[in-house]
Chain A
Amino acid sequence: RKEVEQDPGPFNVPEGATVAFNCTYSNSASQSFFWYRQDCRKEPKLLMSVYSSGNEDGRFTAQLNRASQYISLLIRDSKLSDSATYLCVVINTDKLIFGTGTRLQVFP
């Protein structure tokens, strides 16, 4: 079983839609959680950290459920520019473990 698992998608949604991704992790001792964004043929970039109480940054909301060992990312009012791959990242013993990513395609 992979340490971090994501649905690869693609999620095809129209502009303005709300879309949610989940990610599960296997190590209950995982310390920190993040969502990274990766555009096609580019490097990953930090989108947002995920805090225990949940956190919001504009149209993006991230939540953590330690009991069920999953994190989620909600994107409201999707834009064409949100089209990318979203990587779930978990820190275990100071190492970043990356999921394989969920691809989002927003269409007009």
Chain B
Amino acid sequence: NAGVTQTPKFQVLKTGQSMTLQCAQDMNHNSMYWYRQDPGMGLRLIYYSASEGTTDKGEVPNGYNVSRLNKREFSLRLESAAPSQTSVYFCASRTPPGTDPYEQYFGPGTRLTVT
């Protein structure tokens, strides 16, 4: 059982380049999320998808787009990378409300540096 997988693990981009971070989960969860984690800031929600075909903005969506390709996959795209987007990006999926524990599972993260 792979859980949540993310690719790539590491990436260096130049300012202005674009890239897509891939995420997939095999737990049949409806809800999926993208976070970024910066020192002293904690995890901040970029976008989320409550179900296949729907996406919504989180706390820090500017500079990003997402696609919920199907129930398993939720990708994050940086159209024109900026140094401020240097961060660790985590994808997550969550068990349905009412489940005990009501748990969010994270992927291993993508460490992105924009120069």
Q: How far is the CA of A96 from the CA of B33 in the complex (A)?
A: 10
Is B103 in contact with chain A by the CB < 8 A criterion? yes
Is A61 part of the binding interface, using a Cβ–Cβ cutoff of 8 Å? Answer: no
For chain B, what secondary structure do more than half of its interface residues adopt (helix, strand, loop), or is it mixed? loop
A residues near B48, Cβ cutoff 8 Å: 95
Q: Which of B41, B42, B94, B103 has the most CB of A within 10 A?
A: B42
Q: A32-B102, A49-B101, A96-B104 are in contact. Are A43 and B109 (CB under 8 A)?
A: yes
Question: B42–A98 contact, CB under 8 A?
Answer: yes
- Chain A to chain B: the 10 pairs with minimum beta-carbon distance, closest first: A43-B106, A100-B42, A98-B43, A98-B42, A46-B103, A49-B101, A44-B106, A43-B108, A43-B109, A43-B90
Could you list 10 A-B pairs, sorted by A, with CB under 8 Å? A4-B42, A32-B102, A43-B108, A44-B106, A45-B106, A46-B103, A49-B101, A49-B102, A94-B97, A100-B41
Give the residues in chain A near B53, CB-CB below 8 Å: none
CA distance A99 to B42 in the complex (A): 6
Contacts of B97 in A (CB 8 A): 94
A87 near B: Cβ within 8 Å? Answer: yes
For the complex, what is the distance from the CA of A44 to the CA of B108, rounded to whole Å? 9
- Within 75-111 of B, Cβ neighbours of A (below 8 Å) are at 90, 94, 97, 100-104, 106-109
For residue B101, which residues in chain A have a CB less than 8 angstroms away from its CB?
34, 46, 49
Q: Which partner residue on chain B sits nearest A88 by CB separation?
A: B42
Q: Residues on A close to B: CB < 8 A?
A: 4, 8, 32, 34, 41-46, 49, 87, 91, 94-96, 98-101
Seed contacts A43-B109, A46-B101; 8 additional CB < 8 Å A-B pairs: A44-B106, A46-B103, A49-B102, A91-B102, A94-B97, A96-B104, A98-B42, A101-B42
Using Cβ atoms and an 8 Å threshold, which residues of chain B touch A46?
Answer: 101, 103-104
**CB closest chain-A residue, reference B35:** A98
A11 to B106, CA, bound (A): 25
Which A residues lie within 8 Å of B100 (CB)? 49
| Cβ distance A99 to chain B, nearest Cβ, rounded Å | 6
